[in-house]
A and B are shown apart, each in its own frame.
Chain A
Amino acid sequence: GAVVSQHPSRVICKSGTSVKIECRSLDFQATTMFWYRQFPKQSLMLMATSNEGSKATYEQGVEKDKFLINHASLTLSTLTVTSAHPEDSSFYICSAGVANEKLFFGSGTQLSVL
């Protein structure tokens, strides 16, 4: 099946720094990529929808200036957590697909902000 690579798998950073997470579709072109966040024992929550070449669409309550999403090509989307705070510590997962087809997920990034 299709492969989505997410990097890094784990990152620890100091409060106030920025962290970039990459999501790549390795063997297909993804017109749409999604970013999710999961707090412990909670369901995955959609943060934003990223379409190649256009601005991301953010879900209500997600700060677009804090969570910068770039989808510069059909195989790469990045999520940058700017000025990270401890409350941003979470598990972030990306998924990629082609309109209404089966979505494929990255392996996730565990972010810990000290």
Chain B
Amino acid sequence: KQEVTQIPAALSVPEGENLVLNCSFTDSAIYNLQWFRQDPGKGLTSLLLIQSSQREQTSGRLNASLDKSSGRSTLYIAASQPGDSATYLCAVTQGNALNFGKGTSLLVTP
């Protein structure tokens, strides 16, 4: 059974810092990995999707990497802003369904 773990569970940083969120998964037979953002009481916003054959994806200040063989992914956020404050979830796709981690709650202070 696939297990997805995210570390840290919570993170607080001052504005402007670069930061890294970690995601690990136990079964490397994944189709792809996605990073999502979730604001309180809201749905999910897909940030980046990395296919299993890819190593990384970039979008603006976000960069996600994937090392499928070791079961790890990182989400790098450059020059963090207060608007980045949210919960970040990673999820791996097996078949048609996603297995989610519990998320990292990020707070960026002005």
Query: Do B96 and A100 touch across chains, with their CB atoms under 8 A apart?
Result: yes
Q: State which residues 87-106 of B face A: CB under 8 Å.
A: 89, 91, 93, 96-103
Residue A15 lies at the interface, judged by CB distance under 8 Å to chain B: no
Query: Do B43 and A106 touch across chains, with their CB atoms under 8 A apart?
Result: yes
List chain B residues, Cβ under 8 A from A105: 36, 43-46
Residue B31 lies at the interface, judged by CB distance under 8 Å to chain A: yes
Secondary structure at chain B's binding surface: helix, strand, loop or mixed?
Answer: strand
Total cross-chain contacts (CB, 8 A): 55
What is the bound-complex CA distance between A110 and B43, given in angstroms? 10
Residue of A43, A100, A110 near B41 (CB, 8 A) is: A110
Residue of A93, A104, A108 near B46 (CB, 8 A) is: A104
- Interface residues on chain A, number (Cβ under 8 Å): 25
- Asked if A49 meets B41 with Cβ closer than 8 Å, knowing A42-B102, A43-B103, the reply is no
Q: State which residues 2-53 of A face B: CB under 8 Å.
A: 6, 32, 34, 36, 41-46, 49
Query: Do A44 and B96 touch across chains, with their CB atoms under 8 A apart?
Result: no
List chain B residues, Cβ under 8 A from A43: 4, 89, 100-103
List chain A residues, Cβ under 8 A from B101: 43
Residue B66 lies at the interface, judged by CB distance under 8 Å to chain A: no
What is the bound-complex CA distance between A104 and B90, given in angstroms? 14
- Interface residues on chain B, number (Cβ under 8 Å): 22
Query: Do B43 and A93 touch across chains, with their CB atoms under 8 A apart?
Result: yes
Query: Do A46 and B97 touch across chains, with their CB atoms under 8 A apart?
Result: yes
List chain A residues, Cβ under 8 A from B89: 43-44
What is the bound-complex CA distance between A41 and B101, given in angstroms? 11
What per-residue 1/0 map shows which CB atoms of B25-60 lie under 8 Å from chain A?
Answer: 000000100101000011111100100000000000
What is the bound-complex CA distance between A44 and B101, given in angstroms? 8
Query: Do B100 and A34 touch across chains, with their CB atoms under 8 A apart?
Result: no
Q: Give the distance to chain A from B59, nearest Cβ to Cβ, in Å.
A: 13
Interface residues of A (CB under 8 A from B): 6, 32, 34, 36, 41-46, 49, 91, 93, 95, 97, 99-100, 102-108, 110
